[in-house]
Amino acid sequence: MKNLVLVVMDGVGKSKTGLGDAVKKANTPTLDMLLRDCPHTYIKAHGTAVGLPSDEDMGNSEVGHNALGCGQVYSQGAKLVEEAIESGAIFSSAAWQELKDNCVAHSSAMHFIGLLSDGNVHSNIAHLLSLVRQAKADGIRKVRVHILLDGRDVPATSALTYVATLEEALSQLSDASFDGRIASGGGRMKITMDRYFANWDMVKEGFYTHVYGRGRQFASAKEAIGTYRQELPGVIDQDLPAFVVAEDGKPVGCMHDGDSVILFNFRGDRAIEISMAFDDPDFNRFERGNMPDVKYAGMLQYDGDLHLPRRFLVEPPKIRYTLSEQLVKQGVKSYAVSETQKYGHVTYFWNGNRSEKFDDELEVWEEVPSDKVSFDQRPWMKAAEVTDKVIEAIESEKYGFIRCNYPNGDMVGHTGNFDATVIGVEAVDLGLARLLPVVKKHDCILIVTADHGNADEMLEKNKKGEITVRTAHSLNAVPFIVYNADCEIADGEFGLANVAAAVTKLMGLKADPHWEPSIVK
């Protein structure tokens, strides 16, 4: 058996247009050498290749690592929800029935919290509108929507478009029997949507904004967004402060005993903490105040091992036959490392949405704490420390399979700061430069790939033909490179799900029969 190291350069794809290509702009002698001298190809990392509804849907780190780690294509996120809405299963689910009955019995409000966009990464406004329409059809008389502004998976300052769509739909539904309103909101990187327990203050501020209506008051979401843009020149949607919609000085959408609450995001990483705040009876991360007695559900169950939340509208994909399972069956010890921002991706998502290991002895996970600053301020992030850990793991000769994630291309790319993203990509290249001689010395095989694009396309043309900042993931293919192995790339078109079989083939192990074919022959 050959030992193998797999590196995920998060958010590093191959640009089709050259527009805002921080990867090309960066000084990357190591990556350039690998692409020049080693067997390689480019593989699909978005759309149907990772289980999303169409090839217009950008990939993301969660579905990307699912595909990398399980070797198969599962219906994911938006596609799962769309299928449940089309079949009606979402509205016959136990969770919807319980929350609906709760509102009807108490003549109480149903609250929806989530990311207001059609990015199809965390949510889709179309799903929200379906839920709101069904709420009215089921006899719920009052709906309040707490909107999180995107500007990350969609154009950076597009929030008013989505607000207008939602307000028009609520207006058309509202009559003597139904009252629908936007109640509160704020930018996704300011409130509510923290992940990996990095910043509980974000979650607390969102919780108090949505639950108690505490915060700066405006007559409408449109007024709030317009005012903040005037006061904070250059601010993009994801960074807009919290706001509360009020009439006569009173919030229109505070939560009360007997209300129901649904988080309509389908992606798990940024849904877990706010779900804990609502749904964990032993919650102690911050003081929740005199919290009202509400029934809470998620669009999906965001963590199956933690059973969080307890109620959810759509069953998650049943991911089986993962690479980790196969390696455990064959007695191979593995090691996974990244910094906090992507630690869950090389562990939880890689292992098929499992918080627990398949084998505590054969799987070792290590987290490098991320800096709690905007990533364009320190674009090198923890690339050096992650590299240190990988080198230690290789030199220990304990592990047959080692995987790591460098988050720089994605996390710095999301800030929209092109110059900082160039530095972030260069930091990853420095990490690769340090790894290569160690891989060679210990006669390992190295695979370098990515989970989706981002840093490769940081500008875009808007509908007017103007060049604007792009903070969303790209639809570009990502590299798949093999170093220090005598192999050839197989014929055909491949995606992230083909990587697992390539790993076992290069290691000299059996692939699971359920997997997609290997990229190498």
With CA atoms as reference, report the closest residue to 453 among 38, 50, 40.
50
List, in sequence order, every beta strand (DSSP E) within 223-318: 243-247, 250-251, 260-263, 295-300, 312-314
DSSP notation for 214-225: -S-EES-HHHHH
Give the helix, strand, coil percentages of the chain, each rounded to 5.
Answer: 35, 20, 45
Calpha distance 316→82 (Å, rounded): 13
Query: Any idea what the Cα angle at residue 232 is, between residues 227 and 236, rounded to 5°?
Result: 95
For residues 242 and 206, the answer to whether their CB atoms sit within 8 Å is yes
What is the dihedral angle through the alpha carbons of 347, 353, 359, 362, rounded to the nearest 10 degrees?
-30
**Catalytic residue from among 15, 54, 61, 174:** 61
C-alpha–C-alpha distance, residues 344 and 101, integer Å: 36
Spatial distance between the Cα atoms of 409 and 308, rounded to a whole number of angstroms: 30
Neighbours of 363 (CB within 10 A): 21
Decide: residue 255, CB within 10 A, 0-12 exposed, 13-18 middle, 19+ buried: buried
* Distance from C-alpha of 139 to C-alpha of 156, rounded to nearest angstrom: 37
Three-state SS for 309-328 is: CCCEEECCCCCCCCHHHHHH
Phi, psi angle pair for 274, to nearest 5°: -65, -30
Rounded Cα–Cα distance for residues 220 and 245 (Å): 5
Distance CA(354)–CA(91), nearest Å, equals 26
Nearest to 148 by CA among 271, 242, 278, 286: 242
Whether 396 contacts 334, CB under 8 Å: no
Asked if 131 and 85 count as a contact pair (C-beta separation under 8 A), the reply is no
Extended strands (E) in 104-194: 109-115, 142-149, 179-187
- Nearest alpha carbon to residue 137 among 100, 182, 192, 87: 100
Residues 6+ apart with CB under 8 A from 381: 339, 341, 370, 371, 375, 406, 407, 408, 411, 412, 424, 427
- Is 158 known to be catalytic? no
Active site members:
61
